[in-house]
Structure 1
Amino acid sequence: MGKRWRWGVILDAGSSGTRLHIYRWQDPAKALKDASYQELHSLPSIATKEKWTKKIRPGISTFGDHPEDVGPDHLQELVEQALRVIPDDKHADTPIFLMATAGMRLLPPLQQRAVITETCSYFRANTRFFLPDCDTHIQVIPGETEGLYGWIAANYLLGGFDDPEGHAHGKNHHTYGFLDMGGASAQIAFAPNATVAEQHGDDLKLLRLRSLNGAPKEYKVFTSTWLGFGVNQARHRYVDALVNEFLIDGEHEVPDPCLPRGLRTTEKGEIVKGKSNKLELVGTGQFDECLRRTHPLLGKDVPCDDEPCLLNGQHVPPIDFDVNHFVGVSEYWHTTHGVFADSRDDTAYDFNTYQKKVLEFCSRRWEDIEMNSGTRKKDHGKDAQEACFKASWLISVLHEGIGIPRLGIEHTQTPGFNISKGVGEAAKEKGFLSPFQAADEIDSVEISWTLGKMVLYAAGQVPPKDNYRLPVGFGSNVKGVPSDFQHAGSNYNATSAIDDDDDWADTAEDIIDHAKSNSTSVFFLFILVFLFIAFFLRKRDRRMRLYGKFNHILRRRRRPGSPRKVSLGLSSLTHKLFGRSSYNYERVLEEGDINQFELGETSSDEGDYSDSSSGAPRLGRSSGLATPKLNAGSFDDPKKHAHPGSAMDRSGLVVRTESRERLFPQMLNAGRRSRAASPTRLKSPLMSPLSEN
């Protein structure tokens, strides 16, 4: 029932802040041993928890002028969180990544390199996490790579990779497209149908994953990014166009059809109250006009050098919306399920319904909107005043830019294709038949590009089949390993041994986490009884080792400065289970003066679980935003080193200690002769060498 875990740490360094993500998956050697048929043909199972994420502001791009401060003033809080969560003995095998996106892309190259260098130095000086190469683990990633990671994450969570038949959309297609929009840029990633992929092969990336049985999973994916097409950058361009067209000399007011009627703001979106001579945007609440004025921002008039193009003259292969069903995250989710959502909403995006809500909201006066108590809070008020422009921009990008059909208005089926029969059973049951659907979480797991990166890394740890030795990663769409191939960064050297006691320690920790969130004491009592019985069925030496590891968990969870009631309270029990020597040994270590002891280099099972230098308590699946979550029901069904050495005291004398209880009684008064030369010790059949654990 146990698992041996692998861990991964990745920091998403965005423009507004840096977010820590911690992921965990089963070691391939252990997973292969217990895997079912379905699991053997699936990608490694990645797990996360909400408390394994943490975000701090602002972004690391703000340290461009003083990169030496990025560690202590920014990264330290996130590093401490990771050290608390991940077991000490796992740190050396845990990769750490920091990947920066839009904000860092705007910095000059010299500032980028300075921040990246300081970040890597800080990680190496303050952690033992696996960081062999700064250039691959700490970097500013292109928007196309960000989009590809997002595509992996979405299809991983939806089940498009592991259940092709259940997610068949027709034409032998079973993956989903991915759309992402932030404040500065927007990304698109999708796998074209077979015909388009053949015609536009040079435009595609070849992505190679690996299922648990070692077989490759290959996909040809198109990915692109539009810089300046995030909502904030689009708003700046929109306001500049309004001012250039409507500002009259001597005046300071400019009409803004994308603001609710009566709302007055500055160019930066700050609400203006009272009279002012500064430039003001005055809301007129005309959403139709708002739509008309956002359309030119798409850049549809920019020359297209390589047909076809979508936005800003950038080439994108033809999209077959019969089989390419897109998942939109970030602003696509917030703009459709934020201000305009209510309790009666279905999770699916419906153009007609959405547009009616937007028209009704954006035609209201700002005073009426303010009456809503939710807008009195700063964040909600900001969302309300920006909602109309964001809705207009989203509609323009989706339907006029990318070309996603308006569900219920435009025909989406190819002749002779019955979508109700062409899709797989999972799609028919779950209802994800539309060309677009916004999402934030799937089964309580956030759709984040960081997950895609970690899926790629975990897949690289799986041993390949003999006939399939090509590496995991992505690059140009050519056979073999192209020159620009980006490896997953991992290898498939499995751990040499699997210790079941690790499994029990992990299981115990998970149960403690569950008990904290479960108010049913009867259930918790049942679990404790079950573990107690199973504990006694194990061999005595294993019980001893397991107790040390379980006690380590409790010590990590105890708040700093709190008494050691747990360890001392179990004294009588541990005396009966393990003997007096085990208890006395632990008590000396906990209560004695550490300066009284000088131990040589030894290796023991308990040593593998020593406390971290941080001294912080260890924390115990979802990293989601505080927005309504979307269940999968809305989609398709988706070393140890033995070094006995000699123990030396400070004077260089050999110190030999041994528990009197382990010696044969006759030997207690055997004189002061060297024990090593004792024939009794060497020949007595009742004596055995002390085993090294």
Structure 2
Amino acid sequence: MTMPSLLLTLSVWLLAGSLLAEATYYRHHRYVPHFYRYREHSANAENLLPEVSNPEPEVPQPGVPTYPKIPEVFHPAPEVIHPIPEAFHPVPEVVHPAPEPYHLPEVYQPVPEASSPVNTSRVFYGIMFDAGSTGSRIHIYKFIQKDPVELPVLDNEMYHAVKPGLSAYKDNPEEGGNTIRQLLKIAKKTVPEEDWKRTPVVLKATAGLRLLPEDKANALLKEVREVFNESPFFVPNNSVSIMNGAKEGVLAWVTVNFLTGHLYSNTRKTVGILDLGGGSTQITFLPRSKKTIESAPPSYIANFNLFDHKYQLYTHSYLGNGLYAARLATLGALGADGLDWKVFTSSCLPKKFREDVTFGGTTYKVSGIPDGYAGYKLCYYEVMKVIKGVVDQPYEVKGSSVFYAFSYYFDRAVESGLIDGSRGGALEVRDFKKRAKEVCNKMTKYRAISPFLCMDMTYITCLLKEGFGFKDSTVLQLAKKVNNVETSWALGATFDFFRNLNIH
């Protein structure tokens, strides 16, 4: 009896093992419905799991041993976590390193369908006001960033200007604020409404406000801040300020070299800039000779990082040597007393010319010399007194450096017929001198264009030759725009705002 009992026990044990293996096989290989599909969150639908029909419970068969059910563990699909909207980071990657990254309010960007190609292009805008001595200008830049790790593309610029400048409203700040309010209307038409809250608006004032008493300038800046706060645009801290003159030159250099493509090049070939405004004038270039740096006043050398390169520029802004301020200085009127009864005369003006001239909110009586002489030589002598000993001559400009000249250099070259206003062009310094002589010796002919044309052309000639020390054969590229963008400091200042250039 021992052997049959042992065989029966062994058979039962083998049968139980077979049934257990079969049950385990079916449990692990049966069809489990796909109950969750990843999809983009919709504002009109909740993230609900689809219903799953439960299989019928198994009915125990008689004579078949039952085993305790092992609970089946379903690991649910990971919870859909919607990414935090990317902080708006309109960063023209013009600088390395960026000591103070600039963050604007967060903007929601929907997550693309997993099956569709991802479009990483972003469009953003920047609004920069140039509050100059003779006018206020608005620059509205549209950028496209196609790749987060690459530089953005400047798509286009919208530009508009009004006259006179803010400094003309030194005794009526509210009216000055209205001129900025009018320009903001243009910005609202240019920037899409959905982008208003993330588009920064900034105003930088230049020589016009630098020449004003501090209390007058501050009243104007306060009024502009109030106008900005009324607008629908993003108003960052320190959005309204007076810009340092040296920084004005550096940022104009950044603009021109960015637009001409020199900042993308590894050759380190750049172009210098000459900017002639109403109240001040700037010269900025990248020296090739150590002697230029060693012989320059220390404050004329600026250092900063740009596009992974360190730059050491020669730059200076001459306050009071802009075209309109220089006119008054030549006449002996700038800073003079007794303006109600004094008449300021010059041999640079037509003999029979007499007129009231307003600059920076102050009116001056000016005229030619009715019984005296007029002409180029006498005018050159008068202008020399404004420049000689005031303007530094960089060692290197006597060489073959390439310079772009704009603002009133360009305007007066157009008015005197030296270049075409729509295209600009290249001129030698001697071309200004030759045309200045012609204009001054035929003032009657050119008076209809401007009675100050003789004085202006002579001043430009003297500034280039006696001031900066350019040779007669030095070629200047006259341009109002490069690639359809204004040649001014405004674009460079927009870059500076988005990523501080750490200029020192």
Between Structure 1 and Structure 2, whose CA radius of gyration is higher? 2
Q: How many Å separate the matches in 2 of 1:253 and 1:473?
A: 44
- Select the structure that is richer in helix: 1
Q: How does 1:149-548 map to 2 (within 5 A)?
A: 149-165=251-267, 174-196=269-291, 199=294, 202-203=298-299, 204-210=301-307, 216-240=308-332, 256-260=346-350, 263-266=351-354, 268=356, 281-282=369-370, 284-300=373-389, 311-312=390-391, 318-322=395-399, 324-341=401-418, 347-364=425-442, 366=444, 368-369=445-446, 375=448, 380=449, 383=450, 385-407=451-473, 434-457=474-497, 460=499, 472-476=500-504
Letter in 1 for 2:348: C
Q: How many Å separate the matches in 1 of 2:298 and 2:331?
A: 38
Letter in 1 for 2:399: D
Consecutive unaligned residues of structure 2, counting only runs of 5 or more, are: 1-118, 337-342, 359-365
For residues 412-471 of structure 1, the C-alpha deviation after alignment (integer angstroms, 9 at most, x for no partner) is xxxxxxxxxxxxxxxxxxxxxx4533222223322011011123345x3xxxxxxxxxxx
Deviation, 1:86, is 0.9
Q: How many Å separate the matches in 2 of 1:335 and 1:288?
A: 19
Contact 2:249 2:317 in 1 (8 A): yes
Could you tell me which residue of structure 2 aligns to residue 79 of structure 1? 184
Could you tell me which residue of structure 1 aligns to residue 165 of structure 2? 59
Could you tell me which residue of structure 2 aligns to residue 31 of structure 1? 147
Deviation, 1:122, is 2.5
Deviation, 1:75, is 2.2
Q: Which has the higher contact order (CA 8 A, sep 6+)?
A: 1
1:320–1:17 CA distance, 2 compared to 1 (3 A): closer
For residues 280-330 of structure 1, the C-alpha deviation after alignment (integer angstroms, 9 at most, x for no partner) is 533744212322332222132xxxxxxxxxx35x5x653254353221111
1:474–1:194 CA distance, 2 compared to 1 (3 A): farther
Contact 2:136 2:164 in 1 (8 A): yes
Letter in 2 for 1:23: Y
Q: How many Å separate the matches in 2 of 1:343 and 1:82?
A: 30
Contact 1:197 1:220 in 2 (8 A): no
Could you tell me which residue of structure 2 aligns to residue 10 of structure 1? 128
Could you tell me which residue of structure 2 aligns to residue 468 of structure 1? none
Deviation, 1:337, is 2.7
Contact 2:404 2:478 in 1 (8 A): yes
Q: How many Å separate the matches in 2 of 1:279 and 1:351?
A: 29
Contact 2:289 2:396 in 1 (8 A): no
User: Equivalent residue of 1:208, what SS?
Assistant: strand
For residues 69-122 of structure 1, the C-alpha deviation after alignment (integer angstroms, 9 at most, x for no partner) is 544x22221112111211122122211101111221223223322322332232
Consecutive unaligned residues of structure 1, counting only runs of 5 or more, are: 34-39, 166-172, 211-215, 245-251, 271-277, 301-310, 408-433, 461-471, 477-693
CA RMSD of aligned residues (A): 3.3
1:346–1:228 CA distance, 2 compared to 1 (3 A): closer
Deviation, 1:164, is 4.1
TM-score (norm 1): 0.48
For residues 368-406 of structure 1, the C-alpha deviation after alignment (integer angstroms, 9 at most, x for no partner) is 556xxxx3xxxx3xx2x2111111111111011100111
User: Equivalent residue of 2:236, what SS?
Assistant: coil
Contact 1:321 1:435 in 2 (8 A): no
Contact 2:347 2:369 in 1 (8 A): no
1:395–1:124 CA distance, 2 compared to 1 (3 A): same
Contact 2:207 2:280 in 1 (8 A): yes
For residues 637-693 of structure 1, the C-alpha deviation after alignment (integer angstroms, 9 at most, x for no partner) is xxxxxxxxxxxxxxxxxxxxxxxxxxxxxxxxxxxxxxxxxxxxxxxxxxxxxxxxx
Q: How many Å separate the matches in 2 of 1:327 and 1:26?
A: 27
1:192–1:110 CA distance, 2 compared to 1 (3 A): same
Q: How many Å separate the matches in 1 of 2:406 and 2:191?
A: 29
Q: How many Å separate the matches in 1 of 2:130 and 2:320?
A: 20
Matched pairs, number: 369
Could you tell me which residue of structure 1 aligns to residue 26 of structure 2? none
Q: How many Å separate the matches in 2 of 1:83 and 1:369?
A: 41
